[in-house]
């Protein structure tokens, strides 16, 4: 009996350490403070988080009990459940966890981050949860890039990254979107984006000749829409937080890490040549759309509509025939 009790005690996770609990509370505080400034409707549902320590996992804000988890005291009004760790401690991702879209994150130390940087990484994954709750999985499935029961393709897809022409066309799109985002003249902005639409058409046509055919361009559409816009949301969260009273500790992170992110967007395909180039290209397109069409987010979740479609539709009709 004593041995059984001892074994059970080993399975029960201790309370979330105070510093980690404070980090989770802070990430939600930042999200609540700026979510609606960044994207109307983002604050309608609090994203669940699975926080992964070296030995345990803590599920915060889930709507129901999870398999193998023990209920703990709530944290800032959110339920907390815990179990011994089964996930990689360096995980930084979002996916359905027992059917509920959630952000899954290791500690700042495991992710080689500071607590201040970590909360913005958490915002990125929280935006993915928002996407999922608005049909992102179903929308992406319509591209028919790979079987719907295997998500490994999202990381392992054989996109022709080594092809210099592909990288140059990515760079051209990012550069033109950067110019559009920085332009103070509507005429210049229209010129840059109409040229970007032409560059996108050349990019799609070139990719169609690759071994993967049209799927290669669809993969680019997906990554720009998914990861690129999540990078945009992370960037905007950092920007908004840096301006708010009571969040002074984040201004240095904005200045040192985020303020110059548009320059990476400008050099997508050159400064970044692997999958990360889609983060930068999607960021560039979102920033350009902020200037060209401030209501572009209203179409973002529409079925069959991707960033390139919204850019083209944001131009005067004569400029993209």
> Which of 61, 43, 143 is closest to 97 using CA atoms?
61
Question: 116's torsion region: left (phi>0), alpha (psi -120 to 50) or beta?
Answer: alpha
> pLDDT digits over 195-236, tens only?
999 999 999 999 999 999 999 999 999 999 999 999 999 999
Tokens representing 97? 């966890």
Q: What is the pLDDT of residue 11?
A: 57
Give the list of residues 6+ apart from residue 32 with CB closer than 8 angstroms, or none: 43
Q: What is the pLDDT of residue 320?
A: 52
Q: What is the pLDDT of residue 5?
A: 36
Task: Tell me the three state secondary structure of residue 40.
Answer: coil
Q: What pTM, to 2 d.p., does this model score?
A: 0.94
pLDDT along the chain (321 residues), means of 10: 41 89 98 98 97 98 97 95 98 97 98 97 98 97 89 93 97 98 96 98 97 96 98 98 95 97 93 92 98 97 98 81 49
Half-sphere exposure (CA, 13 Å, Cβ side) for 232?
A: 25
Neighbours of 278 (CB within 10 A): 25
- In angstroms, the CA 36 to CA 30 distance is 11
Task: Tell me the three state secondary structure of residue 70.
Answer: strand
- In the DSSP assignment, the letter for residue 92 is E
Question: 75's torsion region: left (phi>0), alpha (psi -120 to 50) or beta?
Answer: beta
């Amino acid at each position: 009996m004593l041995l059984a009790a001892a074994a059970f005690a080993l399975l029960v996770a201790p309370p979330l350490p105070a510093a980690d609990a404070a980090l989770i509370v802070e990430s939600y505080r930042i999200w609540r403070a700026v979510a609606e400034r960044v994207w109307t409707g983002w604050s309608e549902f609090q994203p669940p988080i699975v926080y992964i320590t070296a030995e345990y996992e803590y599920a915060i804000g889930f709507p129901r009990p999870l398999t193998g988890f023990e209920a703990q005291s709530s944290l800032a009004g959110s339920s907390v459940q815990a179990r011994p760790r089964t996930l990689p401690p360096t995980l930084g991702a979002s996916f359905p966890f027992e059917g509920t879209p959630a952000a899954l994150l290791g500690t700042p130390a495991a992710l080689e981050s500071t607590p201040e940087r970590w909360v913005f990484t958490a915002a990125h994954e929280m935006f993915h949860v928002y996407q999922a709750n608005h049909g992102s999985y179903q929308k992406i499935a319509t591209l028919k890039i790979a079987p719907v029961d295997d998500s490994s393709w999202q990381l392992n897809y054989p996109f022709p990254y080594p092809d210099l022409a592909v990288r140059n066309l990515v760079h051209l799109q990012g550069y033109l979107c950067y110019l559009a985002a920085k332009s103070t003249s509507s005429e210049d902005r229209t010129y840059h984006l109409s040229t970007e639409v032409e560059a996108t058409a050349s990019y799609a046509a070139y990719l169609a000749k690759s071994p993967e055919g049209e799927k290669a361009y669809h993969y680019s559409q997906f990554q720009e829409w998914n990861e690129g816009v999540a990078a945009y949301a992370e960037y905007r969260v950092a920007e908004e937080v840096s301006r708010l009273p009571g969040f002074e500790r984040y201004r240095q992170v904005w200045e040192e890490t985020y303020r110059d992110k548009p320059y990476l967007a400008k050099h997508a395909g050159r400064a970044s040549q692997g999958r990360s180039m889609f983060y930068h290209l999607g960021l560039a397109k979102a920033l350009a759309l902020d200037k060209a069409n401030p209501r572009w987010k209203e179409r973002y979740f529409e079925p069959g509509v991707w960033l390139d479609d919204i850019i083209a539709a944001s131009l005067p009709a004569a400029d993209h025939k």
